[in-house]
Chain A
Amino acid sequence: MARFEVSQAIEETASPPAAVAQPRAALTRSLIGGLVTSLPVLVVGLLILNFAPTYYTYLALGAFVNLIVVVGLQVFMGNSNIANLGHSAFVGLGAYGVAILSTPLAMKKLSIPNAPFGFATLQLDPVSSALIALIMVGIVAAVSGKVISRLSGVAATIVSLALLIIVHSVFLNWTNLFKGNQAFFGIPKVVGLPWMMVFSVVVIVLARLFKDSRWGLQLRASAQSPQAAAALGIDARRLRLMSWVLSALICGLAGVLYAYFAGTISPKLFYFQMIFNTLAMLILGGMATVTGAVTGVIVLSVGLEFIRSIESGVTIAGIQLPQLLGLSGVALGVVIVLCMAFRPSGISGRYELDELLSRLFRRNAK
């Protein structure tokens, strides 16, 4: 058994077109790969932008935020193979960061008149707000990452959860700054679908570049075989920290974008429900690849919307079904359990979309 795993590990780390001989060629290839992977996202986005009614545009914006979160999650989980159950804390930090910095003063007078550090009388433009919020996310990520990267896999996961609870608890209880349990409204709505698509593509390409980079490869190798990697002089801690921070920044960006399109946020948005949703998406799609993250979001966003329509009570053939609260939760859980039992590598498995396409092409050419 043990031997089997090792041989598999070697196979897996060897299979991606890693940066070996020609770094420039590998970089180009990785870049193109990322762009190919983001094609489906662009197509779906453009279709919705041009043809769909407003309601669907709103749904699509939510799905794009999830996409960015899931890609961010993939950057850490997919490469380090450590479950992260706290990433929505960073989404929340990003969202609250821009909310506090960019909300118009008139609105702040209503919502957080007693904010400390002069935030009640501060209003920045959306771009600087976003940058500062991301810097804050980066700082929190660096500090928490210092701890998490030192721990073994299980303990790291538990600490990621602890981080979520700490952040959530601060949102709830530091009412002067975060407005507690109530909705924080009045954030400038400056992001629409086009910007969301641009950032999605950027994030997908970024995740792909990291995965194929020297660091990504070393991190994946050390996740497969820690001792062998350590023997090669790979510093797994530093790499875990690096991927943790990158992952957090991407999640933070998702939060920023969410706040800028929804205009209203509240703490419960960035708690376990988001963890459940995005984790199920990543697992269903396959966490080893960026393609998996994209696939999972597309499939589960559609599936969940369908289930939610049943959940809220539908009329089928003249019969009004009752509200079935919890149905979508059950479905998410079942997706996770079944995936883990029957296809732990998810829908897309080990290969990225471009790798699959080129394999297919090569096979046909033969």
Chain B
Amino acid sequence: MDYALQQLLNALAFGAEYSLVALGLAVVFSIMGLVNFAHGEIIGVSAYSVFLAAALGLTSPIVAVLLAVAAAALAAVAFERVAFRPVRYAPTTTGLLTAFGVSIVVQNLFMLLISPKPQSVSILNGLNQMWFFGPFAVSSLQVMELIVSGLTILALVLFLNRSTLGLAIRAASRDFATVRLMGIKANRVIATAFAISGALAGIAAVFIIARRGSVSPDLGFSLVLKAFVACVIGGFGSLAGAAAGGMLLGFIEVGLLVALPQEYGGFKDALTYVIIVALLVYRPEGLLGQRVELGDKEI
């Protein structure tokens, strides 16, 4: 029983983290069709900001958390301003490759300016403890991950449904030109979407740093690959799909960890992807996706 509960919490926590990152990708994709491969480097910028701040003498974990989120949001907005704005109206492949290029640049900058080797960051280690509920021992990090992700998603839903800017983001996901006809500034809508996307990545970064206790240049890359896969199984561009896809991915991974014998543990990632690709054979448009009508985005 204890074991089963522990694995359930594992799956939920993994799933929550994938959902956060996948949501960030989906927010940006839904309004401007950008497949943001540089999302992992937003997590990277966030993590390295915390590393640098700690190296410069920062000791407060709370400030470190705020810094992580703010740095990620800023990095996302900056990436958009510098690299993605010139290709805003270009075909999807152009944007995708641009983002891929940005990802390579930033990853290598970490290598060049800091170090190719992982750097230790202990400022957030306090978040990772064991909590005891009667007979159960659970990881505080996983519980927090679950709660914080839940609250973040709730806040996102409220923002998208209540605020004018949130409405504009939802509207822009279908028809950007008409949103501009409402007098809403395109740049503001896009900057907001990127800031949200970055903030979500920053929250994920906090948990990653706390769990690993170190940062490395490719910190966010493999996580974002998984988040992309979550988006694809959820239905690309659908926010609910991204969140659901992330959770599903968490459960598949933990399920495989439980089911696979120790010596085959290395095949976990490969099998996860195989399962997902197999799912796509049956639902090419994803679980919650719908066939996008071509011409939907035309002026």
Contact = CB atoms under 8 A, between A and B. Distances in A.
Check whether chain A touches chain B (CB < 8 angstroms).
yes
B267 A169 contact: yes
A150 interface: yes
Contact of A325 (B35, B96, B112, B298): B112
Contact of A165 (B106, B109, B266, B270): B270
A162 B292 contact: no
Contacts of B295: 2
B100, B116, B267, B269, most chain A CB atoms within 10 A: B100
A347 to B, nearest CB: 15
B111 to A, nearest CB: 3
B277 interface: yes
Interface stretch (B82-90, B145-153, B165-173, B189-197): B82-90
B229 A162 contact: yes
Contact of A82 (B93, B111, B228): B93
Interface stretch (A13-21, A53-61, A326-334): A326-334
A83, A163, A335, most chain B CB atoms within 10 A: A83
Interface string A152-178: 111101110111011001101100000
Contacts of B110: 326
A83 B89 CA distance: 17
Interface of A: prevailing SS: helix
Interface stretch (B12-20, B123-131, B205-213, B278-286): B278-286
Contact of A161 (B91, B95, B105, B228): B228
Given A154-B236, A327-B112, A344-B90, A169 B100 contact: no
B267 A155 contact: no
B140 interface: no
B284 A169 contact: no
A333 B104 contact: yes
A279 B104 CA distance: 12
A283 interface: yes
B105 A2 contact: no
A325, A336, A342, most chain B CB atoms within 10 A: A336
A322 B1 CA distance: 57
B270 A169 contact: yes
Contacts of B269: 165-166, 169
B258 to A, nearest CB: 18
B107 interface: yes
Nearest to B98: A340
Range, interface on chain B = 35 or more
B288 to A, nearest CB: 13
A344 B294 contact: no
B8 interface: no
A115 interface: no
B105 A330 contact: yes
A21 B218 CA distance: 53
B52 interface: no
B284 A150 contact: yes
Contact of A336 (B104, B231, B273): B104
Contacts of A2: 295, 298-299
A321 interface: no
Contacts of A150: 280-281, 284
B102 interface: yes
A336 B100 contact: yes
A327 B25 CA distance: 28
Contacts of B116: 325-326
A172 B264 CA distance: 12
Interface string A65-90: 00000000000000001110100000
A85 B299 contact: no
Given A166-B274, A333-B108, A341 B229 contact: no
Contacts of B292: 152
B299 A173 contact: no
Contacts of A25: none
Contact of A334 (B105, B236, B274): B105
A127 interface: no
Contact of A341 (B98, B264, B276, B277): B98
A326 B111 contact: yes
Contacts of A163: 273, 277
Interface in A248-285: 276, 279-280, 283
Contacts of B298: 1-2
Contact of A340 (B101, B107, B270): B101
Contact of A333 (B87, B91, B102, B264): B102
Contacts of B294: 226-227
A24 B240 CA distance: 54
B112 A83 contact: no
A352 to B, nearest CB: 21
Contact of B83 (A1, A279, A341): A341
Contacts of A330: 104-105, 108-109, 112
Given A155-B232, A172-B266, A335 B273 contact: no
Contacts of A169: 266-267, 269-270
B98 A153 contact: no
A81 B96 CA distance: 12
Q: Which 3 A-B pairs have the closest CB atoms?
A: A336-B101, A329-B108, A333-B105
21 contacts: A81-B93, A153-B92, A158-B231, A159-B277, A159-B280, A163-B273, A165-B225, A169-B270, A170-B267, A276-B104, A326-B116, A329-B105, A333-B105, A333-B108, A336-B101, A336-B104, A337-B83, A337-B102, A337-B105, A340-B86, A340-B101
